[in-house]
């Protein structure tokens, strides 16, 4: 999103080309971390291509360079076949040295591509979207939601505002992601465990809402300056309110986010390992026992057992 702003403000074709290449690389790199980011990548790519086409800067050579930068960002995926070939990969979906095995892992086919679980009956789209709005208010506050709406209203009412295209780009990213995820999230969020799983993916949409809230905050004070005219006082008030909002967000969430003294998972894994006989082979299922036991066994070298199989 920061690169989108830089691209929008770029004054020359050379500067836009440079930012496009950096953005293409970041798009590829982000796909190595989170599959659902593909929704944002598609929205941004279409917007950038439209802008380049409008400026008559979208050439075949430029497209090839952007494709190369995107593929360069995807280079971490080479670790999958390399680790499989060197017999270093312990937990993968399929043989990564074959194309079929690689695509099975890449697309998470054993779960179902873009699904959160296999053969689960999830909540309805309406329920998930409602929970998303509620979670957004808890995480970001109702003020942030209101400011994001103000940004959209200002872009609609004042089409000649400074960054209307960016507002609509970010809004389309938010709507496309929220609708797509609510459609594919096949978990029953009435169960606290599954709701916690789904909440992790809402961080991605909350990031866009936070940016829209910032744009709405700026638009509100730009409008106030045009009405009141006392620019100096309003600028001071703008900085003061921004500091108050950020401070309030930190105070309301820090105690929940601070898990530095939480050793529940560590004690769970240690107690589980200590109950095993020497040189046991443990069959694991689920993230909590699987990840915690493997971390102690392979990373902290707790040799209570001979191996972990999942």
In a domain, 46, yes or no: yes
Residues 150 and 252 in one domain: yes
Q: What is the number of structural domains in the chain?
A: 3
The tens digit of pLDDT for each residue in 143-200 reads 999 999 999 998 888 766 556 689 999 999 999 999 999 888 888 888 888 888 888 8
Residues 237 and 270 in one domain: no
**Angle, CA 63 vertex, CA 60 and CA 67 arms, to 5°:** 140
Residues 149 and 248 in one domain: yes
The tens digit of pLDDT for each residue in 9-37 reads 998 999 999 999 999 999 999 999 888 89
Residue pair 122/100 in contact by the 8 Å Cβ criterion: no
Residues 289 and 192 in one domain: no
In a domain, 119, yes or no: no
Residues 281 and 209 in one domain: no
Residues 131 and 252 in one domain: yes
Would you say the C-alpha torsion 297, 298, 300, 304 has a positive or negative sign? positive
The tens digit of pLDDT for each residue in 113-158 reads 777 776 667 788 899 999 999 999 988 989 999 999 999 998 888 7
Residues 6+ apart with CB under 8 A from 213: 140, 143, 144, 145, 147, 148, 151
What whole-number distance in Å separates Cα of residue 234 and Cα of residue 221? 7
Residues 65 and 148 in one domain: no
Residues 221 and 248 in one domain: yes
Residues 243 and 288 in one domain: no
Q: 163 lies in which domain range?
A: 125-257
Residues 249 and 293 in one domain: no
Residue pair 213/152 in contact by the 8 Å Cβ criterion: no
Residues 147 and 242 in one domain: yes
Q: What is the 3 state secondary structure string of 171-217? A: HHHHHHHHHHHHHHCCCCCCCHHHHHHHHHHHHHHHHHHHHHHHHHH
Nearest 5°: phi and psi at 305?
A: -125, 165
Query: What three-state secondary structure class fits 47?
Result: helix
Q: Tokens representing 170?
A: 């970010």
In a domain, 92, yes or no: no
In a domain, 198, yes or no: yes
Residues 253 and 268 in one domain: no
Phi-psi region at 114: left, alpha or beta (left = phi > 0; alpha = psi -120 to 50) = left
Dihedral angle computed from the Cα positions of residues 230, 235, 240 and 243, in that order, rounded to the nearest 10 degrees: 160
The tens digit of pLDDT for each residue in 199-239 reads 889 999 999 999 999 999 988 888 887 777 677 888 888 89
């Amino acid at each position: 999103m920061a690169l989108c702003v830089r691209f929008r403000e770029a004054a020359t074709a050379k500067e836009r080309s440079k930012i496009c290449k950096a953005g293409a690389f970041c798009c590829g790199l982000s796909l190595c971390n989170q599959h659902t980011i593909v929704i944002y990548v598609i929205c941004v790519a279409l917007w950038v291509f439209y802008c380049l086409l409008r400026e008559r800067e979208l050439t075949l050579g430029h497209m090839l360079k952007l494709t190369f930068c995107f593929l360069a960002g995807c280079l971490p995926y080479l670790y999958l076949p390399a680790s499989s070939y060197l017999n270093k990969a312990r937990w993968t979906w399929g043989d990564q040295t074959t194309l079929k095995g690689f695509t099975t892992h890449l697309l998470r086919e054993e779960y179902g591509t873009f699904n959160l679980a296999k053969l689960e009956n999830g909540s309805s789209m309406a329920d998930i979207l409602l929970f998303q709005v509620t979670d957004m208010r808890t995480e970001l506050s109702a003020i942030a939601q209101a400011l994001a709406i103000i940004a959209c209203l200002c872009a609609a009412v004042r089409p000649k505002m400074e960054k209307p295209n960016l507002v609509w780009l970010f809004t389309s990213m938010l709507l496309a992601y929220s609708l797509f995820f609510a459609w594919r999230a096949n978990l029953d969020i009435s169960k606290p465990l599954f709701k916690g799983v789904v909440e992790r993916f809402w961080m991605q949409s909350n990031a866009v809402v936070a940016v829209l809230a910032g744009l709405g905050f700026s638009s509100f004070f730009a409008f106030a300056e045009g009405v009141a005219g006392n620019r100096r006082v309003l600028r001071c008030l703008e900085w003061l309110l921004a500091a108050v909002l950020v401070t309030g967000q930190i105070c309301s969430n820090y105690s929940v986010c601070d898990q530095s003294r939480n050793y529940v998972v560590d004690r769970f894994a240690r107690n589980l390992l200590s109950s095993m006989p020497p040189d046991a082979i443990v069959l694991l299922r689920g993230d909590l026992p699987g990840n915690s036991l493997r971390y102690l066994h392979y990373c902290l070298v707790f040799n209570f057992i001979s191996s972990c199989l999942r």
